Structure 1
Amino acid sequence: MRDYPEDGGEGMSQVFNGQKMLLDLPSPPAARVDGTIYFTDELLQDTSGDYFIPERFFYASPPADSDGGDAELHEHSDTKSLYALGRAVERTEAGFIVNEEQEIIPTSAFMRSFEDIAATRGELDCGLTASSTKYASLLPNPLRAKANGRMVYTVPLIIFMDDVSGNISKQWNKHHAIYMLNANLPREMLEKEFFVRFVTSSPHAAPMELMRAMKQSICDAATSGVAAWDCKD
């Protein structure tokens, strides 16, 4: 699985290379850097001492001059690094000032999380300036408390419906069935039948009734979260 959307440049070979996943859909909310979990929309501090609020996480190729300009190396997907799109923040006596312009920094530059900053006496006492409140808040991401120290991932789904016959004989007995795929999987896997998952079917419910229930189930899962375990975390 590719846990974050990927900036594929001008080309697109995977679902997670698409601009919609990169810029339009909600970003994966968390990134783990050196064992520390950072969330979107939270204040952090990078290795230069500057403050930053990430808004999106994504994979991209490092700058061409970062390793001697080896073009072939940069084209290889394994060399893509995790970056954050967000806003620089400056701490002043009047309060934290959030930059109006977005910028991109590598997540490898993250040094102190919101928890570390909040635990330092007086560091957040100055608050935000009035002009910055429309861009951010000095509060933790609500998912931090729900996660309870665990990573949080988002799994985009490809959902489709088809009408099939419920009979082995030639007599048509129409059922509407819903299937889904994990859009974080490579295209080579999405093309295999094993990764097409059956969700529900009914010979009586209308298609929109089935989709309404499907949407509600996904919304409930997105709100409450689903605890899962894998070999990475």
Structure 2
Amino acid sequence: MNPVFNMDAATMSPVALFIQADWVVKIVMAGLLIASIWTWALIVAFWLRLGKTRRGMARFEREFWKADDIDVFYKAESENTLPSARVFIAGVKEWRRSTAGGSIDKGGTRERLATTMAAASAEEIDTLSDRLNILATVGSVAPFVGLFGTVWGIMRAFTGIASAQNSSLAVVAPGIAEALFATAIGLFAAIPAVIAYNRFSHGVNRIEAALNRFADGFHTTLSRQLDGGR
């Protein structure tokens, strides 16, 4: 009789189910556990990063709107790596290039400023949301990987039942529990990944909106200077 299906109640613990599982199911379980640990590491890191970025952007924008001289503020913040600072730096550089000559094309300058800052904003958002795709992948794939482990385990369980020629609950339960455990691990990895992906996507969208508002405000400030301070 197959020893996997003769486990008593004491061997129905998660650790015992993993140890007694088929090698294919073990690989599935181990992969999902690694994905779960990786997911939680990404969740903590991204949560800290978003919080730091939001606070830094709020501070930067407060200081920017209080500044009396853009050139002085630019020198002080030229090495700043915050998204709003990057947009500001890109705008100042384009402003200087566009107004360096004797004759200034006001319409062209405004258009170039808008394009430059929009590109800088998009680049910063792409960088900020770089690893969100990992959470999306884990959230969408992990349940199916767990389901594969479950199907494989159930197939093995029925094979063991056929070999033992005994379909009592004591014989069937351990094999089925082992198989369903793979699905449980898949859901354990997927659920926090999906929740975190949705929350972080919302957070990135809020930062993007704030970044676009800042870029629009800075563009307006430069446009006034272009018109002679009106």
Same-fold status (TM-score > 0.5)? no
- TM-score normalised to structure 2 length: 0.23
Structure ranking higher in strand proportion: 1
- TM-score normalised to structure 1 length: 0.23
Structure ranking higher in helix proportion: 2
**Higher RCO, 1 vs 2 (CA within 8 Å, ≥6 residues apart):** 2
